[in-house]
Protein backbone atom coordinates (compact mmCIF):
# COMPACT_ATOMS: atom_id res chain seq x y z
CA UNK A 1 0.00 0.00 0.00
CA UNK A 2 1.19 3.51 -0.82
CA UNK A 3 0.51 6.59 1.26
CA UNK A 4 1.19 10.12 -0.05
CA UNK A 5 1.54 12.97 2.43
CA UNK A 6 3.09 16.42 2.71
CA UNK A 7 6.85 16.22 3.19
CA UNK A 8 7.97 16.66 6.79
CA UNK A 9 11.29 17.46 8.44
CA UNK A 10 13.52 14.41 8.39
CA UNK A 11 11.89 12.71 5.38
CA UNK A 12 14.80 13.53 3.04
CA UNK A 13 17.36 12.15 5.50
CA UNK A 14 15.34 8.99 6.12
CA UNK A 15 16.16 7.63 2.66
CA UNK A 16 19.52 6.00 3.31
CA UNK A 17 19.94 4.31 -0.09
CA UNK A 18 19.11 7.07 -2.57
CA UNK A 19 19.08 7.23 -6.30
CA UNK A 20 19.28 11.00 -6.70
CA UNK A 21 18.44 12.21 -10.18
CA UNK A 22 18.87 15.91 -10.23
CA UNK A 23 21.40 18.63 -10.14
CA UNK A 24 22.09 19.64 -6.55
CA UNK A 25 20.60 23.04 -5.83
CA UNK A 26 20.90 25.32 -2.86
CA UNK A 27 18.29 24.55 -0.27
CA UNK A 28 15.46 23.33 -2.49
CA UNK A 29 13.26 23.05 0.59
CA UNK A 30 12.97 26.82 0.85
CA UNK A 31 10.02 28.10 -1.16
CA UNK A 32 8.97 24.59 -2.12
CA UNK A 33 6.27 22.10 -1.37
CA UNK A 34 7.07 18.43 -1.25
CA UNK A 35 5.34 15.11 -0.98
CA UNK A 36 6.51 11.91 0.65
CA UNK A 37 5.54 8.46 -0.57
CA UNK A 38 5.45 5.73 2.05
CA UNK A 39 5.41 2.14 0.82
CA UNK A 40 4.81 -0.67 3.30
CA UNK A 41 5.49 1.70 6.20
CA UNK A 42 8.84 2.97 4.83
CA UNK A 43 9.62 6.31 3.18
CA UNK A 44 10.64 5.48 -0.39
CA UNK A 45 10.22 8.72 -2.36
CA UNK A 46 10.51 12.38 -1.40
CA UNK A 47 9.97 15.03 -4.03
CA UNK A 48 8.60 18.43 -4.71
CA UNK A 49 8.70 21.62 -6.71
CA UNK A 50 10.94 24.53 -5.80
CA UNK A 51 9.87 27.90 -7.19
CA UNK A 52 12.76 29.36 -9.16
CA UNK A 53 10.65 32.37 -10.14
CA UNK A 54 6.97 33.07 -10.85
CA UNK A 55 7.11 31.19 -14.16
CA UNK A 56 9.38 28.24 -13.37
CA UNK A 57 9.39 25.39 -10.88
CA UNK A 58 12.29 22.99 -10.36
CA UNK A 59 11.23 19.37 -9.80
CA UNK A 60 13.43 17.67 -7.19
CA UNK A 61 13.26 14.16 -5.82
CA UNK A 62 15.08 11.51 -3.88
CA UNK A 63 14.14 7.91 -4.52
CA UNK A 64 15.10 4.87 -2.47
CA UNK A 65 16.73 2.03 -4.39
CA UNK A 66 14.21 -0.22 -2.64
CA UNK A 67 11.40 1.19 -4.73
CA UNK A 68 12.84 -0.54 -7.81
CA UNK A 69 11.26 -3.69 -6.42
CA UNK A 70 7.87 -2.04 -7.04
CA UNK A 71 8.10 -0.33 -10.47
CA UNK A 72 4.35 -0.06 -11.05
CA UNK A 73 3.84 1.47 -7.63
CA UNK A 74 6.72 3.89 -8.26
CA UNK A 75 5.25 5.14 -11.52
CA UNK A 76 1.79 5.55 -10.03
CA UNK A 77 3.17 7.50 -7.08
CA UNK A 78 5.35 9.72 -9.25
CA UNK A 79 2.56 10.54 -11.70
CA UNK A 80 0.04 11.22 -8.93
CA UNK A 81 2.54 13.27 -6.97
CA UNK A 82 3.56 15.32 -9.98
CA UNK A 83 -0.09 16.00 -10.85
CA UNK A 84 -0.79 17.17 -7.28
CA UNK A 85 2.27 19.43 -7.23
CA UNK A 86 1.56 20.77 -10.70
CA UNK A 87 -2.02 21.62 -9.71
CA UNK A 88 -0.82 23.23 -6.47
CA UNK A 89 1.76 25.50 -8.08
CA UNK A 90 0.30 26.11 -11.53
CA UNK A 91 3.57 27.52 -12.86
CA UNK A 92 3.91 27.62 -16.66
CA UNK A 93 7.21 25.70 -16.71
CA UNK A 94 8.43 22.76 -14.63
CA UNK A 95 11.94 21.48 -15.20
CA UNK A 96 14.50 19.13 -13.72
CA UNK A 97 18.07 18.02 -14.35
CA UNK A 98 19.34 14.47 -14.83
CA UNK A 99 22.96 13.31 -14.86
CA UNK A 100 23.87 12.39 -18.43
CA UNK A 101 25.04 8.94 -17.26
CA UNK A 102 21.87 8.12 -15.34
CA UNK A 103 19.95 6.15 -17.99
CA UNK A 104 17.20 5.14 -15.56
CA UNK A 105 16.65 8.84 -14.75
CA UNK A 106 16.12 9.59 -18.42
CA UNK A 107 13.58 6.78 -18.71
CA UNK A 108 11.84 7.82 -15.50
CA UNK A 109 11.48 11.43 -16.67
CA UNK A 110 10.02 10.33 -19.99
CA UNK A 111 7.55 7.99 -18.27
CA UNK A 112 6.47 10.89 -16.06
CA UNK A 113 5.78 13.01 -19.12
CA UNK A 114 8.87 15.20 -19.09
CA UNK A 115 10.74 15.79 -22.34
CA UNK A 116 14.49 16.15 -22.69
CA UNK A 117 15.47 19.50 -24.16
CA UNK A 118 18.56 20.50 -26.15
CA UNK A 119 19.88 22.24 -23.04
CA UNK A 120 22.41 20.90 -20.56
CA UNK A 121 24.21 22.28 -17.52
CA UNK A 122 27.69 21.61 -16.13
CA UNK A 123 28.08 21.22 -12.37
CA UNK A 124 31.15 19.87 -10.53
CA UNK A 125 32.60 18.31 -13.71
CA UNK A 126 29.33 16.53 -14.54
CA UNK A 127 26.89 17.28 -17.31
CA UNK A 128 23.17 17.30 -16.60
CA UNK A 129 20.42 17.21 -19.22
CA UNK A 130 17.43 19.51 -18.78
CA UNK A 131 13.92 18.00 -18.87
CA UNK A 132 10.72 20.04 -19.02
CA UNK A 133 7.11 19.15 -18.33
CA UNK A 134 5.99 21.97 -20.64
Is pTM beyond 0.75 here? Answer: yes
Q: How confident is the model at residue 64 (pLDDT cuts 50, 70, 90)?
A: confident
What pLDDT score was predicted for residue 28? Answer: 60
Cα–chain center distance at 117: 17
Mean model confidence pLDDT for the chain? 84
- Is the pLDDT at 31 greater than 90, yes or no? no
Architecture of the domain made up of 2-132: 3-Layer(aba) Sandwich (3.40)
d(CA 115, CA 134): 8
Domain ranges of the chain: 2-132
Amino acid sequence: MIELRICEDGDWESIADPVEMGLPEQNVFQDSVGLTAIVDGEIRVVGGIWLVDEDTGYLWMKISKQISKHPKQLMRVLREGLAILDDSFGVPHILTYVDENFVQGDRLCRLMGLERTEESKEHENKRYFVYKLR
